[in-house]
DNA sequence: TGGAATCCCTACCAAACAAGTATGGTTTAC
DNA sequence: GTAAACCATACTTGTTTGGTAGGGATTCCA
């Protein structure tokens, strides 16, 4: 239940990959420059995305990353959980659940559960493909420097 | 977009007040003992709840707190925002919104907006009265030490 | 009148976390 | 064999979390 810059950067990176990786992989440096993400920080995120099975890495010169499945098959939830860990309630959880005495039988807990479920719904309903299309549309409308080149 | 122990404690305190304050106000110490919340920490939260206009304080001996309006009229969002501040997006916000270049025209931002809206919906749909009824039902079903006495 | 209970206020603190930075190793194309 | 890239680990700096400490100010009650 905690969203940080990691999730934002992660989404931007995944959108960038969806839009720019064709035959060739896209290097972390390219993404970092295009999306204005600190290079070394992005490197760490790419490792997590790889470990989560969302991207594949190509090592060595001319290496980089490619999406490991179709952008339609990667949800925002996949990216967020890869970077922030499983989306759980944060509150009324773990230790507290026992120390408060009413293990599970707590009215407050139901609200947190609903909140988590609502977030999960939103994050599951949107894919990287959706966001890529949205981004292209926004870039074209603005006529500014696009995040995609080809 | 960040939920901490404050919100949990705050909800428990509000439910406790709804269930236990009749003619007499309920002291922070009573709440702290019944709900297993550190006493001095709860005191701070009660100040915030008072400043947000959710509870009224009665000072001096035999003093305490009472809800400032009907439990039906106090939403979870009221309590959460009183304790955590306004419910905004955390990510793609503030500085970042400018530095990333695409001021507003960012596909990722739309997801965070939807997420915040979804949370707001959940928190607005539930009142302290709802939670109090739920808590009574849970306590009765469990047959354990209840959080209400009258 | 004087405790004692209670809210009120400010300050302080340790641990965890966020968001990077630094350094170097390993793999691969050219 | 060198440069480009990923990979791994450790460190840093500032903020937040979840409290604690210590003393006020107010009010009931004996």
Instruction: State pLDDT tens for residues B122-144.
Output: 999 999 999 999 999 998 888 76
CA distance linking residue A87 with residue A126, whole number of Å: 16
Identify the pLDDT of residue A112.
Answer: 95
> Token pair of B92, please?
């793609």
* pLDDT at res. B28: 98
As given in the structure block, the two tokens for residue B37 are 């919340």
Kindly identify which residue of chain A lies nearest to residue B94, measuring between CA atoms: A5
- C-alpha A66/C-alpha B59 separation (Å) is 64
Q: Which string of b and e fits B93-119 if b means at least 16 CB within 10 Å?
A: eeeebeebebeebbbbbbbbebbbebb
- A chain contacts of residue B35, beta-carbon cutoff 8 Å: 100
Task: Judge whether residue A35 has pLDDT over 60.
Answer: yes
Give the model's pLDDT for residue B98: 58
**pLDDT for position B150:** 44
Residue B107 is nearest to which of A89, A107, A135, comparing CB atoms? A135
Distances (CA, A) of B30 to A101, B86, B148: 16, 29, 11
Select from A7, A8, A79, A80 the residue whose CB has the most chain B CBs within 10 Å, as the one to mutate to test that interface: A8
Distance from chain centroid for Cα A41? 14
Rounded distance between C-alpha atoms, residue B147 and residue A116, angstroms: 25
Stretch among A37-41, A95-99, A143-147, B107-111 having the lowest mean pLDDT: A95-99
**A64-67 and B64-67: which strand pairing?**
unpaired
Domain boundaries, chain B: 5-142
Distances (CA, A) of A61 to A20, A25, A45: 18, 11, 20
Span B74-105, pLDDT tens digits? 999 999 999 999 998 777 665 555 556 665 67
Q: Which residues of B touch A76 (CB under 8 A)?
A: 111
Q: Measure the CA–CA gap between B102 and A96, rounded to whole angstroms.
A: 42
Q: Nearest to residue A69, comparing CAs of A21, A29, A27, A37?
A: A21
Cβ atoms of B55 and B68 closer than 8 Å:
yes
Q: What pLDDT, on the 0 to 100 scale, is given for residue B22?
A: 84
Using an 8 Å CB-CB cutoff, list chain B residues near A142: 102, 105
Is the CB of A86 less than 7 A from some atom of nucleic acid strand D? no
In CATH terms, the fold of domain B5-142 is: Arc Repressor Mutant, subunit A (1.10.10)
Percent of chain A with pLDDT over 70: 86
Q: Tokens representing B19?
A: 């269930």
Does strand D come within 7 Å of the CB of A47? yes
Per-residue pLDDT, B11: 98
Q: Give the pTM.
A: 0.91
User: Beta carbon of B85 within 7 Å of strand D?
Assistant: no
Gap between the Cα atoms of A114 and A126, Å rounded: 19
Which residue stretches of B85-127 are H helix?
A: 95-99, 107-125
Identify whether the C-beta of residue B116 lies closer than 8 Å to the C-beta of residue A3: no
Contact B102 A1 (CB under 8 A): no
**What are the backbone dihedrals phi and psi of residue B2, each rounded to the nearest 5 degrees, phi first?**
-130, 120
Task: Compute the Cα dihedral for A137, A142, A143, A144 and give only its sign.
Answer: negative
How far is C-alpha A15 from the chain's CA centre? 9
Which CA distances in Å does B146 have to B56, B74, B85? 24, 22, 31
Per-residue confidence (pLDDT) for residue A97, from 0 to 100: 58
A102: pLDDT strictly greater than 90: no
Question: Looking only at Cα atoms, what is the longest distance across chain B?
Answer: 59
Estimate in Å the CA B37 to C1' D4 gap, whole number. 56
């Amino acid at each position: 239940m905690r969203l940080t810059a990691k999730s934002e950067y992660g989404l931007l990176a995944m959108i960038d990959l969806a839009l720019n990786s064709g035959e060739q992989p896209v290097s972390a440096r390219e993404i970092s420059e295009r999306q204005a993400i600190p290079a070394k920080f992005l490197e760490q995120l790419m490792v997590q995305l790889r470990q989560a099975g969302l991207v594949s890495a190509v090592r060595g010169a001319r290496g980089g990353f490619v999406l490991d499945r179709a952008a339609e098959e990667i949800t925002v939830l996949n990216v967020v959980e890869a970077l922030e860990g499983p989306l759980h309630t944060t509150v009324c959880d773990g230790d507290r659940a026992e120390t408060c005495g009413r293990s599970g039988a707590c009215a407050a807990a139901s609200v947190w559960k609903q909140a988590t479920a609502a977030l999960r719904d939103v994050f599951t309903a949107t894919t990287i493909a959706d966001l890529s299309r949205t981004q292209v549309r926004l870039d074209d409308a603005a006529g500014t420097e696009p995040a995609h080149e080809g």
